[in-house]
Chains A and B, each alone.
Chain A
């Protein structure tokens, strides 16, 4: 069974631009969560989607948004990029909601210049 895939794997943008990252969960998984990882703040929860609805949101500004499609694939968007948005963005999928094992993708490394 294919794992969680994220595209692109690497991305370089400049301040003020916007970016869209994509995540394809494991087949059959309906829940997708997004995390940001930086050396200073570690792994931080961004948001969670289930059945095309955002179910939970972390403490990030409104520039960070996401959505989930009917096939459970998810995208996250960051508008008006800032230098501090440079990070590894990780997507995780799970079968459903609750105390389930989460499967993480390899991440998208975003660099903002």
Chain B
């Protein structure tokens, strides 16, 4: 399984943008980049995913480098509720499909009031 590298922790202030980096230098051409987050005492929650182009949704934006070896999850205005562990995950397209998610250690985001 392809691996991702994320900083162990990051800190941000409330209402400021947050850029969470992820390196995935061994990504293959068919790997999608997914982000999930896990709030305290909850199961993981889907945030966003993309393949090559930058993606936006109501929660966040995903910026993907041109060579696809890295990506950045952008929270435009951090709130206290965004404090969580953020996981960057590569998902390949396998024959017949697969729901297996390979989680790394993720980045623990602390948001200061």
Cβ-defined partner of B96 (8 Å) among A33, A55, A94, A100: A55
Q: How many residues in A have their beta carbons less than 8 Å from beta carbons of B?
A: 28
Q: In the complex, A58→B32 CA distance in Å?
A: 20
Q: In the assembled complex, how far is the CB of residue B1 from the closest CB belonging to chain A, in whole angstroms?
A: 9
Q: What does DSSP make chain A's interface, helix, strand, loop or mixed?
A: strand
Cβ-defined partner of A106 (8 Å) among B42, B91, B96, B98: B42
Q: When each residue 13-42 of chain B gets 1 if its CB lies under 8 Å from chain A and 0 otherwise, what string results? A: 000000000000000000010101000001
Residues of A within 8 Å of B68, CB to CB, are none
Residues of B within 8 Å of A97, CB to CB, are 96-99
Given known contacts A99-B91, A105-B43, A106-B42, is B99 in contact with A58 (CB within 8 Å)? no
Q: Determine if A14 is an interface residue (Cβ-Cβ < 8 Å).
A: no
Indicate if the CB atoms of A104 and B45 lie closer than 8 Å. yes
Indicate if the CB atoms of A55 and B98 lie closer than 8 Å. yes
* Least CB separation from B32: chain A residue: A99
Indicate if the CB atoms of B102 and A45 lie closer than 8 Å. yes
Residues of B within 8 Å of A104, CB to CB, are 42-45
Tier of interface size on chain B: 20 to 34
Indicate if the CB atoms of A48 and B99 lie closer than 8 Å. yes
Q: B-contacting residues of A (Cβ < 8 Å)?
A: 4, 31, 33, 35, 42-45, 48, 50, 55-56, 58, 90, 92, 94, 96-107
Indicate if the CB atoms of B99 and A42 lie closer than 8 Å. no
Residues of B within 8 Å of A43, CB to CB, are 44, 87, 101, 103
Residues of B within 8 Å of A96, CB to CB, are 97
Q: In the complex, A56→B103 CA distance in Å?
A: 16
Q: In the complex, A101→B49 CA distance in Å?
A: 9
Q: In the complex, A55→B95 CA distance in Å?
A: 11
